[in-house]
Amino acid sequence: MHLILFILFAGFCLAGAINLLLQSHPISSALSLIVVMTSLAVLYLLLGAEFLAAAQVIVYAGAIMVLFTFVVMLLNAGREDRTLGSKASRLIGFPAVVVILSLIATIILHAQELGAARLSEGITTTEELSAVLFTKLLLPFEATSVLVLIAILGAVVLASRGNGENNAKSKEAK
Partner 1 sequence: MNPAYTQLLQQDVPLAWYLVLSAALFSLGVVGFLIKRNLITVFMSIELMLNAVNLSFVTFAHQWHAVKGQIFVFFVMMVAAAEAAVGLAIIIAVFRARATLAVDRIDLMKL
Partner 2 sequence: MNAILYLWLIPLLPFAGFLLNGILGRRLPKWLVATVALLAPLAAFCMILQISIGLYASPVAFSHLPFIQTCPLGWINVGTFHADFSFVLDQLSLTMLLVITGVGFLIHIYSVGYMSHEEGYARYFSYLNLFLFFMTVLVLAGNALLMFVGWEGVGLASYLLIGFYFQKKSAADAGKKAFIVNRIGDFGFLIGMFLLVANFGTLTFTEIATKLGQDPGWQGGVVTVIALCLLLGATGKSAQLPLYIWLPDAMEGPTPVSALIHAATMVTAGVYMIARNHVLFDHSPFALSVIAIIGAATALFAATIALVQNDIKRVLAYSTISQLGYMFLGCGVAAYSAAIFHLMTHAFFKALLFLAAGSVIHGLGGEQDLRKMGGLWKKLPVTFWTMTVAVFAIAGFPPLAAYFSKDAILYAAFTQGTNGKILWTVGLITALLTSFYMFRLWYMAFMGTSRNPETHPHESPFTMLGPLTILALLSICGGLIGIERFGNFLAPSVGARLIDLTDPRVEPVLGIVAVAIAVLGWFVAFSLYSEHPKQPARLVAALPRGYKLLVHKYYVDEIYGYVVVKPLLGISKFVLEYVVDVAILGGLAWLLGGIATFAGAILQRWQSGNIRSYAAWVAAGAAALLLFVLVPWGTVWPESLAFVWKVAGH
Which of these, 75, 7, 3, 67, lies nearest to 34 by C-alpha position?
67
Q: What is the DSSP letter of 48?
A: T
Q: Which is nearer to partner 2, 74 or 84 (CB)?
A: 84
SS3 149: helix
Q: Which does 95 bind (CB under 5 to 8 A by kind): partner 2, partner 1, none?
A: partner 2
- Expressed in angstroms, the distance from the first to the final Cα of the chain is 68
Q: Which does 173 bind (CB under 5 to 8 A by kind): partner 1, partner 2, none?
A: none
Which of these, 31, 18, 16, 39, lies nearest to 73 by C-alpha position?
31
Q: Which is nearer to partner 2, 89 or 144 (CB)?
A: 89
The DSSP secondary structure of 12-29, one letter per residue, reads HHHHHHHHHHH-SSHHHH
CB of 102 to partner 2, least distance (A): 10
- Which residues ranging from 15 to 54 are in contact with partner 1 (CB under 8 A)? 17-18, 20-21, 26, 29-30, 33, 36-37, 40, 43-44, 46-49, 51-52
Question: Is there binding between residue 115 and partner 1 (CB under 8 A)?
Answer: yes
Q: Which is nearer to partner 2, 85 or 164 (CB)?
A: 85
